């Protein structure tokens, strides 16, 4: 089937699904799309929308554009049975280490199938230290309010020693109340104050990393002065702050001189540009060099030699990923589940097309230059390439070869390929 016929068939199927919705389902879908600042459903996925996207010229790499690339893991299925659950992570780490990627990030996820492979990033980072030599090993993120800061400092100092000084963290405040059953003390009482606890923990970890002692309460409530061991290799622990929706978190990250980890899921590029500018302004006002702060954007990634082949390879996996993501928002007021099967499918197909075309590194290296150029203009310094969203491991690893081609185009200020 030709590319034009494939696109027409995709548009026809989507329009049929949209037409099948009841008035109430359509109203819910329209509300969801308005809240996410997407187009009206009659335009989504149709010939008009695809023609409009095709009419926007793709941008090519500029000679002075530069971007770092890292790998990001987030959604491994914790219910998978049998051995080899972490083989893709290990193989990808080895590949990234050999091919000059800047870092690899593993998250902290609890009590969900989606991402359940990753309950403790420090344990995984210690394993990765044994199979890599150069790449930075990161928590992306670690939920600091769930841990005693002294213990966090100890664990990441172990990773730093095992890796020869390659440990780094991105700190998160946590988002799901259920996770706080793991927090020291009364986790549920602490949940409303989690963001302040996160910033307090960052300050404590930095002091311990520098060799200072801090006071912590004993079991009877009296203070005890402690310092953490082992001593790390790096003089300072590289720290990112994970931020998505709240502009205040971007500003606080800048004020403390941390790097920033964000993403394109659930926020518009224009909004991210404003938040990034606020982050750099806050760095400058606090006495930090605004240009040295690293802004890392997590982006779903799969590169291939042919764009339409890539589209069909990722369609099922990414649509499933998006469905799980949207369903997880239900406890926070999302009405996605009210759409019913047809409405959900219509919304997911429309969202998939939008992500594939303009909000993810999906397709060929040439196509994906356009998004990289947009991110450069936003103020992003590094793309964290999320690769574990459901594709077969051998396909992911083959795709990394094409991702390396794109990475190498941006490895120097001249933008020259190796």
Residue 246's nearest CA partner among 198, 294, 278 is: 278
Q: Is the pLDDT of residue 12 over 70?
A: no
Residue 72 and residue 136 in contact, taking contact as beta carbons nearer than 8 Å: no
Please give the pLDDT value at position 224: 96
pLDDT tens for 354-403 read 889 999 999 999 999 999 999 999 999 999 999 999 999 999 999 999 99
Residue 237's nearest CA partner among 288, 293, 290, 167 is: 167
Tell me the sheet residues that pair with 296.
261, 382
Write out the H or E segment, with its range, that includes residue 70. Answer: strand 68-72
Where residue 335 falls among pLDDT bands split at 50, 70, 90?
A: low
Say which residue the tokens 């972490």 belong to. 86
CA angle 306, 411, 61 (to 5 degrees): 55
345: its two tokens? 């499918």
Please give the pLDDT value at position 105: 98
Residue 79: CB atoms within 10 A of its CB come to 9
Residue 396 and residue 387 in contact, taking contact as beta carbons nearer than 8 Å: yes
pLDDT tens for 272-302 read 999 999 999 999 999 999 999 999 999 999 9
Please give the pLDDT value at position 267: 82
Q: 110-114, 129-133, 215-219 — which is least confidently predicted? A: 110-114
Give mean pLDDT, residues 81-97. 96
Q: If you compute the radius of gyration of the chain from its CA atoms, what whole number of angstroms results? A: 22
Say which residue the tokens 């095992």 belong to. 162
Alpha helices in 56-172 (DSSP H): 87-98, 121-129, 149-163
Residue 65 and residue 372 in contact, taking contact as beta carbons nearer than 8 Å: yes
pLDDT tens for 150-167 read 999 999 999 999 999 999
Say which residue the tokens 């009841």 belong to. 22
Whole-angstrom distance, CA of residue 170 vs CA of residue 89? 18
Q: Note the pTM of the prediction, 2 decimals.
A: 0.85
What are the C-alpha distances in Å from 188 to residues 120, 177, 182, 183, 328? 21, 7, 10, 8, 20
């Amino acid at each position: 089937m030709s590319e034009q016929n494939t696109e027409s068939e995709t548009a026809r199927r989507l329009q049929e699904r949209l037409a099948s919705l009841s008035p109430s389902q359509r109203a819910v879908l329209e509300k969801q799309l308005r809240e996410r600042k997407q187009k009206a459903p009659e335009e989504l996925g149709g010939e008009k929308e695809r023609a409009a996207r095709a009419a926007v010229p793709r941008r090519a790499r500029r000679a002075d554009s530069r971007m770092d690339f890292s790998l990001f893991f987030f959604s491994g299925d914790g219910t998978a049975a049998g051995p080899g659950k972490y083989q893709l992570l290990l193989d990808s780490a080895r590949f990234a280490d050999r091919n000059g990627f800047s870092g690899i990030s593993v998250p902290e996820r609890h009590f969900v199938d989606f991402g359940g492979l990753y309950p403790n990033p420090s344990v995984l980072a210690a394993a990765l230290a044994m199979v890599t030599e150069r790449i930075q090993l990161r928590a992306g993120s670690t939920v600091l309010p769930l841990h005693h800061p002294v213990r966090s400092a100890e664990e990441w100092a172990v990773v730093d020693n095992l890796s020869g000084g390659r440990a780094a963290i991105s700190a998160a405040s946590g988002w799901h109340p259920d996770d706080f059953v793991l927090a020291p003390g009364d986790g549920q009482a602490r949940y409303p104050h989690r963001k302040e606890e996160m910033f307090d923990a960052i300050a404590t970890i930095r002091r311990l990393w520098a060799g200072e002692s801090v006071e912590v309460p004993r079991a009877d409530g009296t203070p005890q002065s402690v310092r953490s061991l082992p001593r790390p290799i790096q003089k300072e622990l590289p720290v990112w702050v994970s931020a998505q929706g709240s502009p205040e978190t971007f500003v606080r990250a800048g004020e403390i001189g941390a790097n920033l980890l964000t993403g394109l899921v659930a926020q518009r590029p224009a909004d991210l540009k404003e938040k990034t500018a606020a982050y750099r302004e806050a760095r400058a006002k606090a006495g930090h060099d605004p240009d040295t702060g690293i802004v890392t954007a997590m982006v779903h990634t799969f590169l291939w030699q042919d764009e339409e082949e890539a589209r069909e390879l990722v369609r099922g996996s990414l649509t499933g990923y998006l469905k799980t993501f949207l369903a997880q928002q239900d406890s926070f007021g999302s009405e996605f589940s009210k759409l019913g099967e047809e409405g959900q499918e219509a919304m997911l197909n429309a969202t998939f097309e939008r992500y594939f075309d303009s909000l993810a590194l999906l397709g060929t290296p040439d196509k994906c230059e356009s998004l990289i150029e947009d991110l450069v203009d936003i103020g992003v310094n590094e793309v964290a390439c999320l690769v574990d969203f459901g594709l077969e491991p051998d396909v992911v690893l083959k795709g990394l070869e094409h991702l390396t081609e794109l990475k190498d185009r941006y490895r120097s200020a001249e933008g020259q390929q190796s």
